[in-house]
């Protein structure tokens, strides 16, 4: 009976045409070491003649209970994974764990559309998820928990919040952001600075108008990393006898040089003008350095600038910052997820070391 060209050719039809079992045809595509080179070539030639493209990898994965892919869900748009040096390092770390295990990566970006945000997680064809830096109230995380996929969290939410969301014991990898932020603020205070200002990235998942924010708004941030880094700066300032209420804090939407430049302009317009800027990321600090150059301020003679992350761009900028092991965070998270998939014991929450790196962007006040 001739094949209906409008109907997809099946594996069984290829097997019948060659005169072998369906398993042998499947092995010709996926396990070529199981048959002779001559037989494999005969099978592949018959498949090409009939128009059979090979076994459906999704269907095969579902039959095995695995699809061979780890999802990495994050808060920003798709391009963020390729533009931001910290995101690039994190993904490289996850990949370094996944690749030797034969797993690929599927990016699950955020979206301002709640329906798309939920669907991205609900419909992702993955064996498990690494969720990186989402807000305490993000529906993306709730969808991942409801779906019941093996789950590992990087940075935020913190373990106590994960327990409150119904996911106690979820493996977590991050750093002590509060202590690290206190260290970099303490460095500026030890240099003699008393007029500090802060340029912050997002405090809440829902966009708000960028601008200066008070201490109550800082403490109410639903991003734990933002909340903890601001708290660390505040701890150091208060230990030095500073009134935190007098420290201008700018809240922007994203961690980009553009936001950093706008934020630096805002805090440097306050009176008295700050002598040192604490930026919650190196990307923000990059923008602050651009603002200082445009305003004719010498760094560090007129203005000290400190970042956070020690991104790949930081050494070239001479940026004083906090070094966190971003690639190792990704590798540890990827390995933790592979351990869950292999039914090995779930790793305990893991806080990696962070350290102050002093370069030429900070110095004593004039």
Per-residue pLDDT for 1 more than 50?
no
**Same domain assignment for residues 103 and 155:** yes
CATH number at 38 reads: 1.10.260.40
Helices (H), 65-201: 80-83, 85-98, 114-122, 139-147, 159-164, 177-190
**Same domain assignment for residues 158 and 89:** yes
Please indicate, yes or no, if residue 59 is contained in any of the structural domains.
no
* Percentage above 90 pLDDT, the chain: 69
Please indicate, yes or no, if residue 359 is contained in any of the structural domains.
no
Helices (H), 247-305: 257-268, 282-294
Q: What value does the CA radius of gyration of the chain take, rounded to a whole number of Å?
A: 26
**Same domain assignment for residues 133 and 187:** no
pLDDT digits (tens, 9 = 90+) for 21-70: 988 988 888 778 888 989 989 998 998 899 888 766 555 555 555 778 99
User: Which residues constitute the domain of residue 342?
Assistant: 69-175+326-351
pLDDT digits (tens, 9 = 90+) for 169-226: 999 999 999 999 999 999 999 999 999 999 999 888 776 788 999 999 999 999 999 9
CATH number at 271 reads: 3.40.50.2300
Beta strand pairing call for 128-132 and 69-74: parallel
Please indicate, yes or no, if residue 64 is contained in any of the structural domains.
no
**Same domain assignment for residues 211 and 126:** no
Distance CA 46, CA 17 (A): 7
Total number of domains constituting the chain: 3
Q: Which residues of 86-95 are buried (b: 16+ CB within 10 A; e: fewer)?
A: bbbbbbebbb
């Amino acid at each position: 009976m001739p094949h209906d060209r409008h109907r997809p050719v099946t594996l069984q039809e290829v097997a019948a045409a060659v005169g072998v079992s369906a398993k042998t045809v499947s092995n010709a595509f996926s396990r070529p070491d199981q048959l002779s080179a001559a037989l494999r070539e005969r099978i592949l030639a018959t498949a090409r003649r009939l128009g059979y493209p090979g076994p459906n990898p999704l269907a095969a994965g579902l039959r095995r209970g695995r699809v061979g892919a780890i999802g990495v869900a994050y808060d920003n748009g798709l391009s963020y994974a390729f533009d931001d040096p910290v995101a690039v390092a994190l993904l490289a770390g996850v990949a370094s764990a996944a690749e030797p295990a034969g797993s690929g990566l599927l990016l699950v970006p955020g979206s301002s559309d709640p329906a798309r945000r939920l669907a991205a997680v609900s419909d992702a064809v993955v064996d498990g998820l690494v969720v990186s830096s989402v807000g305490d109230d993000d529906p993306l995380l709730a969808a991942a928990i409801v779906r019941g996929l093996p789950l590992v969290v990087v940075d935020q939410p913190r373990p106590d919040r994960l327990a409150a969301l119904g996911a106690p014991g979820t493996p977590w990898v991050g750093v002590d952001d509060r202590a690290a932020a206190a260290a970099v603020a303490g460095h500026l205070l030890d240099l003699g600075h008393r007029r500090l200002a802060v340029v912050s990235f997002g405090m809440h998942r829902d966009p708000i108008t960028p601008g200066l924010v008070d201490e109550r708004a800082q403490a109410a941030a639903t991003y734990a990393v933002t909340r903890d880094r601001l708290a660390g700066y505040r701890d150091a300032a208060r230990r030095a006898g500073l009134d935190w209420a007098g420290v201008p804090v700018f809240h922007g939407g994203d961690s980009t040089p553009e936001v950093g430049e706008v934020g630096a302009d805002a805090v440097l317009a306050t009176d008295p003008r700050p002598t040192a800027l604490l930026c919650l990321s190196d990307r923000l600090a990059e923008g602050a350095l651009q603002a200082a150059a445009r305003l004719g301020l010498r760094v560090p003679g007129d203005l000290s600038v400190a970042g956070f992350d020690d991104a790949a761009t930081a050494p070239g900028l001479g940026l004083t910052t906090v070094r966190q092991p971003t690639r190792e965070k990704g590798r540890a998270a990827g390995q933790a997820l592979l351990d869950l998939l292999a039914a090995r014991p779930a790793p305990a929450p893991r806080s990696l070391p962070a350290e102050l790196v002093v370069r030429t962007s900070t110095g004593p006040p004039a």
